[in-house]
Amino acid sequence: MGRKFFVMVFCVLIASSSAAAVHDDYDVVVAGGGTGGISAAIQAARMGVDVLVVESTNMLGGQATAAGVSTMDDLSGQSSGLYRELMERVEEYYSARGKPITTCYWDPQNVAFEPHIGAKILADMARGEDAPDILFGSEVIAVGTESTLSVNGDSMTEGLKVNSVVIQTPQGKRSITCKILIDATEYGDVLPLAHAEYRAGNSISPAINPKAMIQDITWTAIMRKYHDGIPEHLRPKEPLPGYDLARLNYQEYVTKNGGTFKGTYPVEQPVNFATHNAYRGVPDSFSVVNFSSESGEWENCTKTSVNWGNDYPGQYKWGEKYGLPVEYLENRELRKRVERDALIKTLHFVYYVQNELGESWSVDEDEYGELPEAAKILPAEWQEVARHMPPIPYVRESRRIAGERTLTSEELYKNSLSYHRGNKSAEFPNAIAIGRYTLDLHHARFDEDMDMGEKEDYMISRMPVGNFQVPLDVLIPRNVDGLIAAEKNISVSRLTAGALRLQPITMMTGQAAGALAALAVKEGKQPREVKAIRVQKALLDAGVKLSLGEYLDVPSGHKYYKSVQLANLYGLIEPNTWPHDGEAGIFGIDELISSEEIASLNQHAKAELNGNMTRGEAVDLVIKAMQ
């Protein structure tokens, strides 16, 4: 009773936000309340502009919550900005309950949370005096634009500028004007509505190839162990059609007598059920048993996210090809069919666990609670299970804007080498986020599937060697004003997108999109006209780390920490020894130097420099002169 009451109250609190009064005019409208969207909205609202979030589900967090991927795919070993705020609040919540959050990937360096807890914390972060309005159960269905003329020398260029949106809400359609529109949808659905040029698969609009292939999706499930036996309504008696094929598929991944994780990759499959669960194990708020990956006792994991072996179509293929066709993004009817089949494939796993493995596990009644649209055709006994499935699938690949810059894997690789192995910095001067992940494509990774001249073997030869940066101009479409990208839809190659689609980095790019939007509104400019250093200053003030360089003598919290980060990006100072290459550090940062020495870094600052000053003070003046 207490468990169900807790979840019901949480759902009511989330749903009640959709009733918040909205008005007819906003500075910024954010389409999508996922990892990128809610980060953009929070950042923009905290900078003092009027923001509306339009979210199709009843919860915030997108892939990290509504899609059930709440095991953080973060290899960077660091966090900053809103992502760090989320992680700190997650740790605080579970620490107060004596629960560890290091429950996934068989590694105590990785963290996870329960989807409904993550959504609640994000909702808390989005509250306060400077908070966005949020419409749940709603979607942007049309975008209003107006023609523009820009003068460049003797030539004039026609363009488009976003000025409004039409939103489908549970109460009907609503027209709202705005200065900036941010597309943070899971599919990049706003891009064609705004007439923005975009890429999908290996083609670019308007010549989109619907038969080109993109990555698999996954409809995850949050399952837990029922110590007193599975409740009858969570244990269907008959399998769904197609189960025989699914059983053969899952036998390749997890069996009763499968192996355990031996600390090496790739993992030898099939594994046993306990090892499977520990791969994406999440904290269990209501279990008396605590589990941490540090213990290595996988059998103590009582709650997990099912996201292994249930990619769709996965090994089933799409016709003769691996992956999904681009038509999945372009055709809503096909999308519905694909997502129904992806949901059923994961429900097959629930039946497999209960009947082939004999385990007392089922979907977790503490999560979700509303029947997904894709499940409404299912038999009644399966609907009881499906109402505790995530409301949306995990979508790995969306449409991507054709931006002012399109970031390739070669550029990402070279950027990741900054400060490494004697390499001088190749940092992006206009960096707005730092991430770290592999060039990971779930199928659709043959040479014929790639774009921007990239090849399958680049997944190895161009693999980032460490942390990498994201430059500002990949957020800005090249042919439409008043529009910013903030999710998996930024301007990158397909292969690069494989490293930039994860929850931590989409929160960071989303936060940058919010800062850019707020500054564009405040300065009365279009996003492409806002200076990168203005966005960077706002992000540094919000606790975001931007430089790949770390200096022992200028740690976080140092009075010149922000200045030194920017000085790194713009090449204003050079370290005495390069970080990660022998002994790191810029020593003597506070020693007095002559004004002439610093003035040579930036002639525009020369008039402002008088007498002797510390290097940090001089950098501050140089940066001020650049703004």
Query: What CA–CA distance (Å, rounded) separates 627 from 625?
Result: 6
Mean pLDDT, rounded, of the chain: 90
CA–CA–CA angle 311, 314, 316 (5° rounding): 135
Query: What CA–CA distance (Å, rounded) separates 164 from 162?
Result: 6
pLDDT digit string, tens, across residues 373-426: 999 999 999 999 999 999 999 999 999 999 999 999 999 999 999 887 667 778
Scanning the structure block, which residue is given the tokens 């002797």? 612
Question: Pairing state of beta strands 303-306 and 221-225?
Answer: antiparallel
Q: In the chain, what are the domain boundaries? A: 139-214+397-541, 561-626
Task: Establish how many alpha carbons lie within 13 A of residue 422's alpha carbon, considering only the half-sphere containing its beta carbon.
Answer: 0
- Residue with more model confidence, 155 or 166: 166
Q: What pLDDT score does 578 carry?
A: 62
Query: Structure pTM?
Result: 0.93
* pLDDT tier at 78, thresholds 50, 70, 90: confident
H helices, E strands: number in the chain: 18, 25
Query: What CA–CA distance (Å, rounded) separates 205 from 415?
Result: 29
Q: Which two tokens stand for residue 625?
A: 């002169």
Query: What CA–CA distance (Å, rounded) separates 619 from 597?
Result: 11
In sequence order, the β-bridge partners of residue 198 are 401
Q: What pLDDT score does 14 carry?
A: 47
Query: What CA–CA distance (Å, rounded) separates 162 from 179?
Result: 7
Best CA proximity match to 462, nearest among 501, 436, 495:
495
pLDDT digit string, tens, across residues 324-368: 999 999 999 999 999 999 999 999 999 999 999 999 999 999 999
* pLDDT tier at 607, thresholds 50, 70, 90: very low
Torsion of CA 337, 343, 344, 350, to 10 degrees: 180
Q: What pLDDT score does 252 carry?
A: 97
DSSP string over 257-303 = EEE---S-SSPPSSE-HHHHHHHTB---TT-SS---TTT--GGG--E
Query: What CA–CA distance (Å, rounded) separates 177 from 162?
Result: 9
Other Cβ atoms within 10 Å of 601 Cβ, number: 17
What residues contact residue 448 under an 8 Å CB cut-off, 6+ apart?
A: 202
pLDDT(580) > 70: no
Query: What CA–CA distance (Å, rounded) separates 583 from 258?
Result: 46
